[in-house]
Structure formats: C-alpha cells, structure tokens
Structure 1
C-alpha cells in the first residue's frame, strides 16, 4: 500500500503596503418575506405533472419523480422529453413514485434507489410499498436492472406511506416508512388509533437501515438476536409473524415523508420531518434506537394537544422533537414536507449550520438556525402551496435551492445573488510558522469522512483574514473509484468556472492553488465525486 508523505507549511498571500483590496461586501440576508431579502425565486421547468421528489446528480443534472410512476431528468436547465424510467404504480391517495436516492459512488456504478407503491392484489388495500435498486446509464434507468431490497410494506389505507430514502455517510441505506394510515395487522385502528409505529414486528412507522447492496439489516441496528429476524419482504398483514424486525433503526413515527442528511460533515447526522395528525408538525433528530412516541405523542405534546403541555413521562423513553409547529396558517402550516441542510459557506453566514424545512399548506419554507431557533412568523419563503420536496443543487454559479410543487406542476429554485471574489491584486508571499495541515477528511474528529459526491465543505485555513487576502494551498485528491475534480473558492461568492485539481479513479493527485479567503480565513471546497481531500497551506 502506498503512503503519502505530505509536508505542511503555512503561508498566506499578503496585500502589499498601500494597496487596498477589501473583500466584496457580502450581504447576510435573514429569512423573512415571500422570499428572503437578497434571494430570488424562479422557474426551472414547468409542465411536470404531480412531482413528488427530486435529487441532485453531481454532474449538474437533477432527477425528478412523478407520482404516476415516471422518473424524469433535468439537464442543462431543461426537462428531457422522455422518461428515464416508468414503473407501474398505485397512484391513488398518497401512493405512487415517492422517493429517490443516488449511490455515493454513482459516477462509477450508476446505482439509483427508488421507493414506490406497487399493485399487490392480496395485500390489505391492494397495494404495497417497495424499495429497489436500479442502474442508470446516461439519461436512462434500466428497468431490467431492478434489484428488490424491501417489499410488501403495508399501505392498507393508501396514505402515510412515508417514502424517502438516503445513503448515510456510514454507507447504509436509510428508508422512511409511514404507519400505513390503518394498522396493517388490523388489531388497533386507523388515524390516531393506529399503533403500527410501536409494533416492532412491522416495518411501518419506522426509519429502517439496511445494506444498500443486499438489503440485509445493517449491523448495529438496535434489535438483533433471539426473537428477531430480517423482515425485508415478509409483508405487513394480520398474519405477519410477531418476531421483531432487525431492519428497524428508529420507531414511533406517523408519516416521515422526508428526511435529510447533513452534507457539512463526514459523520451521519440527519433530521426527520414527520407529518402530524390534527395539531402539530415536527422535525426530529435521527437517533439510533429512538422512539418518537406516535401515536401517544404528536410534536412536543400528547396527541391532540398544543402547548403549554407536559413532557412525556421519563419512563416511556420517548424522544422529543427538535422543533414543532401548530396547524395554523399564520404561524405554522398543515403538513410538513421536504427538508435540506444549508451548505455552509454557500449563503450569508447567518445560514451556516441551518436547516430548511417546507410545509405544503399554505406553502412555506421555514429556517432553523444553528442555535436551534425557528421564527415561524417570518418564513424563509412563503406562497408555495403544494411544495413536496426541496434539495440543494450545485449550479455553475454556486448553490441553489430547488423545490418541486405538485400544485403548480413546476420545478423551481431559490437562488442568492453572488458575485465573483474580488481580485486580491498583487500578493507578497508571507511564510508563517508553525507548519499546519488545515484539513484532512480522513482525520476530522466527529466530522471524519470523505466529501460526498456533489457536496461542499467549509474549511478554515487561518484564525482570521487580517492583512491576508489569499492562501497558497496544496490540495490532495484521493478519489475512491471514478474520475472527478475539486473546486476551492472564497465562501459566499460565485463558484469559479474551472477546477483546482482533476483526479482519476483510484489515483492520488495533488496540485497547488492560490485561493482567496474570507474574513474568517475560510475557503469553500466542492468535490464532484465521493473522495477524501487534504488541504495543506504552503
């Protein structure tokens, strides 16, 4: 095995005496109004009937699902005329083509994961939910490549299917499943009386974690040993065995329609958006073995109650939400939908560490800041009734927030006005000591882990900008399995049109660059493929 020997020397470019090269003034908009100040809302493409979900492809394309069973591709800002894939689905009620995820090594293996509702004549309600893996080549997904990972998940009432899925930084596939609307066993009830989310022998009302290649329960899931088994395809009916399902990661959810992983870390951190019954909508932290309390709990309260309300009894072991809001169009909504973490360094600094989450009626996008506060009276975006999913997409100029709206049959985006970084002018080389390695994704504490394909990371190179305007850095690019590139630039400015380094699959490449830094001494680093990245300041 080859080892890298990298010498870390610290130096920064200094503006010569008498030259005044201040950084461009970067506005720090705060969420308020129809679209927050400094942002614009525009159409990406129209005429997309009943869009349900979307995911960004690292090369700039966007995959969009249609409820009626089609998978569509947006390329160069336009919807391609034909479907990449069409499946026969149940599309009544809340059923249909519901969720999509890409493999971390998508650029090498083309793997796509889909969650959809299929006909099943013998199942309660006549339909079941399935999770399958497919292979995408070019702009087409091969129907013949389907590998079923989970199947026969109950959808007895047609609603509360959940339907989201993502690959975590731990490499496992996470799947959100709703409680089915009515108990698939038929031994409790429907709506608020349905206790399927607490039945550990059913997959309904849970977050599942499985091997993304085989569908086997992930090692380390909370339930294993005697009295448990793999439940991947055994079905959720009255006749289902009562042995506990090993696929369960967390339980006690009503309808976790969407959840999102934080791309700003190599760790596995995610938030779950769970749709409430009649009173409250909630956002939960994804925690191994957590029980979020449905149907006993709805938001921070007992089902059917609003604050002020007592917390759950400690002995019940329920996990309370990070934030929740009432069914009220003035300072809340009616059903929570998509969620996305803001890429650090993309927008104003107020947004770093923040989380955006949408509500479909009356149509808002709320912002939870890094301190955990949400101002429900001033949403980040309003007037987007019918919004079903949101996702950050890297465009030529930088990050844009895409969203799909089933009410208007549109894909739209919210963008922040950025400008290219100001030229630092003539620089003098100022070697500093001691030597310092600024960033190594293989050794980043709790954030250790490669940069995922199509994500960025805010990297600190110095304690502050001071008199310095740029850094001379050596970027080492350790690609996993496919060709790719890295771009580094000044945070909160437009992404440069060229890369800093290109690498071949399975190889190690390094290159020196001069990169402008911001007032905090940071740079923003984007990788087109899943890879480890090292940054040394020279």
Structure 2
C-alpha cells in the first residue's frame, strides 16, 4: 500500500526506538524494550468456559489449551501498529499506527488514505506517539471516538519536562470512513516529565465510563524530575504511590458524557474511589508503572503493567486498588530486602498492596520476557481450548503466546506458553498489542518479517 510512502519513511525513522523501548529501564533511556502502547472493544458479559466430558467420570472438565496456534495475516505495511478498535456497525477495524495515523481495515484490506492523520500533531521518539483509541459505546449513532497521543510541550507543561500527554475526542464521518482533524476536542492534558512509560490504553467499561492508562512519568525507579515524594522511605519517589500531586502511575476513570466542570473536558463519576477523600478524583487505581495494554471482560479489568529489571505482571484491577509500584515489582520488594504489604494506617487507612494475578521473570525457561503486552480473555468459538482463558504475550515474542488460566482459589493464575506454528512465527518478532472482536476472537499487532502487521489468532493447521 502507498500511504504517502516517502513522508512516512521519514516519520518512521523518528519512531524506530518507540517500538523497542519498553523493557525495564536502568536509567531514563530503557535498557531493553518496552512497548509503545489496544483500545479494548467493549466486551459482552463473560460466557461459561467451554467444557469437554471427562471419559472416566462423565462430568464436565475444562477443554485443554491447544498445543499451538496459527496467525492469519490481515494487513501488513504498517510501521508500528499499537492499537485496534472494532466498528460495531460494519465489518471494519480501526488500526492505530504509532507515528500518528489511524487506518481503516476492511475485507479488502487497508484503505490507502488514513482514517485519522495526526502526523503533524504527534511527537515521536522513544515511547511517544499515537498510542491508543477507543470508540464511544454509541459510536454507531454518534460517531464519537477518543485517542491518546504525545504532543510537544503545551502550556502548563514545565520547561524541564519532555512532552504533554493528550487525550482528545474526534467525530467520524457518517459512514465511519474518515475523521477530520478540526473536529478535535481536547479532553485532558497531563505534563509528562520523561519520554518513556507513557502507557496509552483507552477502553470504555461496562459502566459506560472511559478508563485511561497513565504511566509513572518515566525515567527509572519512579524517581527524579517530575516524580513526587510518597509515604515509602525504602525507595525514593514516586508517582505510583502518590495520588495527590499528579495523575501519573494510575488508571483514570472519567465520564465523557457528563457535564464537565472546573474547566475540565469531562465529568468525574461520583463513585470514583477518591471522591470526597484526599487525592485527585480522577484516580480509579494506582501503584502502576507502565500500564501498557488493558482490556475488559465483563466487569473484570485486566491490566498488563510493564516491569523494570526483573519481573512483568498482569493485574486484575478494581476501584481503589494499589498495585504496589514502586514498593514492589510484581510480588517482590523493589530495591529492598524487605518491604510492607500495605500502606501505613495514616495513608488511606492502610490499604493493601495488591499482588498481580500473573507474574513472570525476565529470564528462565517457560514464560519469560522483557515487557508484558496485556491481552484479552478469549470468548471466541474457533479455539475451544482457549475459552475463558487470558491470552497475552511479551514484546520479545520469540514465536510465543502466553495463556493464563483462572484458579479456583483466587490466587495467581497458572500460565503457560503456546507456540505459534513455525510457518507463522516470523510474522511477529515483536508483539505490540492485542485486540478482541465482537465474536470474541483475538487479534495481535506487532512487527515481523513483513514490517508492522495485523494478525488474527487461529487454530494451527
């Protein structure tokens, strides 16, 4: 496809580090590869896990996960595809390319002209760029959509900071095939002190509110320029444990349909956990480092949070939850021999530091990697062995998917590697994002032998 090829090649060069800059960091620049930030499609209520009959007892038991899966390639030629949204009223997908473009994918492939062109508004490099998209729950009627991108520093961003986080609303054309930039309405801006840990996921929850992932501000260890002092003395910083000074290191929850107040581009839901308490009202959950990709499955919110040097994690996030960063990396004390499992009593009543449902190391056999890429609960029909299981991956794909299964005791989920068939493994050297369509089938976005592409996870041949 020819998307103003020469122009995009120049832009892509600016973003070359973004798709490989997401791993744990030992300084402001990352030492490995952290992802550049899928907006999750609104999911229906969870359906029961598919079962097979146990031949000895004639009682239902969960179907086994497949030994391997394949990838059906739907589109190539992108630079760094980092998100996808599914039109509710047409066979159409909106694919986000990090340099600042959203493309329409239909049965005939990718349209040549971008659905949304923000190439002149987006600041690139490192993990910056156009990072997330979410369609309004009534998109078929109102054509409203929301995107998250990095912009050059705007008014209110200190001179010493890197750039400005922007969340904006746009309106699509009646046929859903295009957007004009002059329809932009800025919903939220956040000063970003460093160039990395930008998160970027957006998703509407089943409550109709918009959830927004915000990284801890970047650098390493949640400390340095732009990182607040918190209650924990074991490690300096940081924004993950502070809910009063800024909106960094958190999941935000906002009402984009309510009447805005105080000069904001949104209303705050009255039942947000810090409304009427100390802290900024937009916070829904905190203690996060770089919540790169998240998704809903019914009421459950699954958040992949990229770790630093040793561990990656997936959290099942609830209102008011504190997920530990920078006291902990996963379940382990961060830069300390011992650490608390809760805040002090005078810090929001001594709230617990909630452990992840999935944790894996940066080295070793089996499930390991450098930067978690949050996925989706599989609700499709093509692969019964995945039904009800969480399908996700790592930036360093290595021909692998990961599958996590919910335990009966409410503890950590069991996790295993599902290989991608040899014929398809090279399609994704790096996984950048996942998506799920209305039928519950799972899609992967990333970079492989044919550049950036969109692929559907299918049964192995």
TM over 0.5: yes
Contact 1:366 1:374 in 2 (8 A): no
Q: Name the structure 2 match of 1:94.
A: 127
Unaligned runs of 5+ in 2: 1-61, 261-265, 344-349
Cα deviation for residue 225 of structure 1 reads 2.7
Q: Of residues 166, 170, 184 in structure 2, which corresponds to 1:146?
A: 184
Q: Name the structure 2 match of 1:164.
A: 201
Report the Cα distance in structure 2 between the residues aligned to 1:185 and 1:377, rounded to whole angstroms.
Answer: 38
Contact 2:358 2:415 in 1 (8 A): no
2:341 is the counterpart of 1:312: yes
Report the Cα distance in structure 2 between the residues aligned to 1:399 and 1:99, rounded to whole angstroms.
Answer: 20
Contact 1:333 1:361 in 2 (8 A): yes
Q: Secondary structure at the match of 1:197?
A: helix
Unaligned runs of 5+ in 1: 1-26, 228-243, 419-538
1:390-438 Cα distance to aligned partner (Å, 9 max, x none): 11235xxx654221114531112212389xxxxxxxxxxxxxxxxxxxx
TM value normalised by structure 1: 0.62
Cα deviation for residue 31 of structure 1 reads 3.9
Contact 1:259 1:339 in 2 (8 A): yes
Contact 2:314 2:374 in 1 (8 A): no
Q: Of residues 211, 217, 221 in structure 1, which corresponds to 2:268?
A: 217
Q: Secondary structure at the match of 1:366?
A: strand
Of the structure 1 ranges 376-385 and 347-356, higher mean CA displacement relative to structure 2 is found in: 376-385
Report the Cα distance in structure 1 between the residues aligned to 2:184 and 2:168, rounded to whole angstroms.
Answer: 6
Q: CA RMSD in A?
A: 2.8
Q: Of residues 341, 347, 353 in structure 1, which corresponds to 2:377?
A: 341
Cα deviation for residue 275 of structure 1 reads 0.3
After TM superposition, list the pairs within 5 Å mapping 1:365-444 onto structure 2.
365-371=401-407, 373-378=413-418, 384-393=428-437, 400-406=441-447, 408-416=451-459
Q: Name the structure 1 match of 2:75.
A: 45
Q: Secondary structure at the match of 1:120?
A: coil
Q: Looking at CA atoms only, which structure, 1 or 2, has the larger radius of gyration?
A: 1
Cα pair distance change 1:175/1:72, threshold 3 Å: same
Cα deviation for residue 77 of structure 1 reads 4.4
Contact 2:402 2:417 in 1 (8 A): no
Aligned residues: 358
Cα pair distance change 1:288/1:51, threshold 3 Å: same
1:313-360 Cα distance to aligned partner (Å, 9 max, x none): 5856111111110012632111011311111x5244432221111211
Cα deviation for residue 210 of structure 1 reads 0.3
Cα pair distance change 1:334/1:126, threshold 3 Å: closer
Of the structure 1 ranges 96-105 and 115-124, higher mean CA displacement relative to structure 2 is found in: 115-124
1:181-209 Cα distance to aligned partner (Å, 9 max, x none): 145535559xx854111121211000000
Q: Of residues 86, 96, 110 in structure 2, which corresponds to 1:65?
A: 96
Cα pair distance change 1:352/1:417, threshold 3 Å: same
Q: Secondary structure at the match of 1:144?
A: helix
Report the Cα distance in structure 2 between the residues aligned to 1:86 and 1:181, rounded to whole angstroms.
Answer: 27
TM value normalised by structure 2: 0.71
Q: Secondary structure at the match of 2:251?
A: strand
